[in-house]
């Protein structure tokens, strides 16, 4: 099958590369000429394990192509994936300007029956807007061309996106016509051979499913963070509580790890968007409001602990930060806890030496330039270089390389032996036995 993917960001690039891997001929389109040229040369705009090899190999084989021309791509394809960004507006709503611009261009260029697939995470009712936009362009052209708009939300975890796409738990397809349903089943057949993974539903149902899924996972995280704060007040070890409730099959262990808040491009944006949609339709989403409020609070927990320990004036203190990305396996720093904590430390006059296995370049792009030029934030070559002559370690992202550190080496090079463990990676007893003062999440007094 011949496909056109519009947008070469995280979702678009993974989608295009994985369909190409399964034998489809895919053209990825983006208006950014530099990005397209880089992709042709094997330079990816994002870090995602396994993706680089897929892109390079399929590009060499000719199953994956890159272009800046949707008009050209439309000549060879009648299946279009819209995978452009939907950044949050100031009021929390999803900004659909890029989605609708792509829809307009599709309407200007299709010449035969086409299936237009919303892959971007979009609010309920977006498919109707896409359909109206395309139909207007066709009417302006004076042509009568049939088309269907499908909702096919992605459920990709950053850091495991390639595996998630190639081996999906489920494939949600929102369709309003049998013709489109058959096209989609044929398209996804290579990913659904062991068992039927396709779940078909109405378009609006599919749009809502994506928001409900992400909001549910965010709710589990915020709930566990709420419990961690209660545990801390009561002298209870939240890690034992986590294991106790996780063993209940009705709850499970996934997404109940207490920490310093969730981030990334999905959970924060999607929770905000669903809250806005709810309010726009006359419903006050009390639970989702609480989920977002708890997460915003949780991102302040580590900096509050640091200030409680050292005082509000940190001008004489130097800290080591391990981890900058919002989670392991990605260089994505959008809505990251590290950004919030760093701002608190910078505002209090601290110096921070940081290390992340893959997000250092992203940090230079996203964080304020003056933090670097003034020498207040230094990105170090490795985790142990970052910890030299510091007053405390702040663990923010639970990369594997941080899981079993050399406590003796750390003790020999740090000015003060203090650890603020934002992801509860370490055993407090082991850390204290090594001579360190330990501050975790929901286990401060254990």
The pLDDT-based confidence of 444 (bands split at 50, 70, 90) is confident
| CA-closest candidate to residue 339, choices 444, 260, 269 | 260
Q: Residue 43 CB: number of other CB atoms within 10 A?
A: 13
What interhelical angle do 203-234 and 286-298 show, nearest 10? 50
E strands, 323-416, are 351-355, 377-379, 392-395
Residues taking part in catalysis = 266
Flag whether pLDDT at 220 surpasses 90.
yes
The average pLDDT across 107-131 equals 97
- Could you tell me what percent of the chain has a pLDDT over 70? 100
What pTM, to 2 d.p., does this model score?
0.94
Mean pLDDT of the chain: 96
Asked whether 387 and 352 are in contact (CB, 8 A), the reply is no
Flag whether pLDDT at 116 surpasses 90.
yes
What span, in angstroms and rounded, lies between the C-alpha atoms of 33 and 30? 7
User: Starting at the edge strand that comes first in sequence, how are the strands of the sheet with 2-6 ordered?
Assistant: 64-67, 25-29, 2-6, 79-82, 114-118, 147-151, 171-174, 198-201
The per-residue pLDDT for 445 is 76
The average pLDDT across 1-15 equals 96
The runs of H, that is alpha helices, within 313-353 are 337-347
What span, in angstroms and rounded, lies between the C-alpha atoms of 325 and 330? 7
Per the document, the length of the chain is 446
E strands, 103-236, are 114-118, 147-151, 171-174, 198-201
Could you read off the pLDDT of 297-326 as tens digits, one per residue? 999 999 999 999 999 999 999 999 999 999
């Amino acid at each position: 099958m011949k496909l056109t993917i519009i947008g070469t960001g995280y979702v678009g690039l993974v989608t295009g590369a994985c369909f190409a891997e399964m034998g489809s001929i895919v053209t990825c389109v983006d208006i950014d000429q530099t990005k397209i040229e880089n992709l042709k040369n094997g330079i990816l705009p994002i870090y995602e394990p396994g993706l680089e090899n897929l892109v390079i190999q399929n590009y060499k084989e000719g199953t994956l192509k890159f272009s800046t021309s949707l008009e050209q791509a439309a000549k060879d394809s009648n299946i279009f994936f819209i995978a452009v960004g939907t950044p949050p507006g100031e009021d929390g709503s999803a900004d659909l300007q890029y989605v609708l611009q792509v829809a307009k261009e599709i309407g200007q260029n299709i010449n035969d029956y086409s299936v237009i697939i919303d892959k971007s995470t979009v609010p309920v009712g977006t498919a109707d807007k896409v359909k109206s936009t395309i139909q207007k362009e066709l009417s302006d052209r004076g042509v009568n061309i049939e088309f269907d708009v499908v909702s096919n939300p992605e459920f990709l975890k950053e850091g495991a996106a390639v595996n998630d796409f190639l081996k999906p738990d489920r494939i949600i397809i929102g369709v309003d016509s049998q013709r489109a349903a058959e096209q989609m089943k044929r398209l996804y057949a290579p990913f659904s051979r062991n068992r039927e993974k396709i779940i078909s539903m109405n378009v609006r149902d599919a749009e809502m499913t994506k928001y409900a899924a992400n909001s549910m996972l965010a709710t589990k995280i915020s709930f566990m963070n709420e419990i961690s704060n209660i545990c801390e007040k009561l002298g209870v070890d939240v890690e034992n509580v986590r294991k106790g409730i996780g063993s209940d099959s009705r709850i499970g262990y996934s997404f109940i790890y207490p920490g310093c808040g969730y981030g990334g491009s999905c959970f924060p944006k999607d929770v905000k968007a669903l809250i806005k949609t709810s309010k726009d339709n006359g419903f006050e989403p009390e639970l989702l409001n609480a989920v977002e409020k708890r997460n915003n609070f949780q991102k302040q927990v580590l900096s509050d602990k640091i200030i409680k320990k050292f005082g509000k004036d940190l001008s004489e203190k130097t800290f080591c930060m391990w981890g900058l990305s919002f989670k392991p396996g990605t260089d994505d720093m959008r809505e990251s806890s590290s950004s919030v904590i760093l701002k608190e430390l910078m505002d209090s006059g601290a110096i921070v030496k940081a290390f992340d296995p893959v997000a250092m370049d992203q940090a230079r792009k996203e964080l304020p330039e003056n933090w670097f030029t003034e020498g207040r934030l230094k990105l170090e070559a490795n985790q142990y270089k970052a910890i030299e002559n510091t007053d405390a370690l702040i663990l923010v992202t639970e990369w594997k390389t941080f899981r079993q550190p050399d406590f003796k080496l750390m003790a020999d090079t740090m000015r003060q032996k203090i650890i603020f463990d934002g992801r509860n990676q370490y055993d407090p007893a082991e850390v204290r036995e090594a001579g360190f003062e330990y501050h975790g999440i929901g286990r401060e007094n254990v």
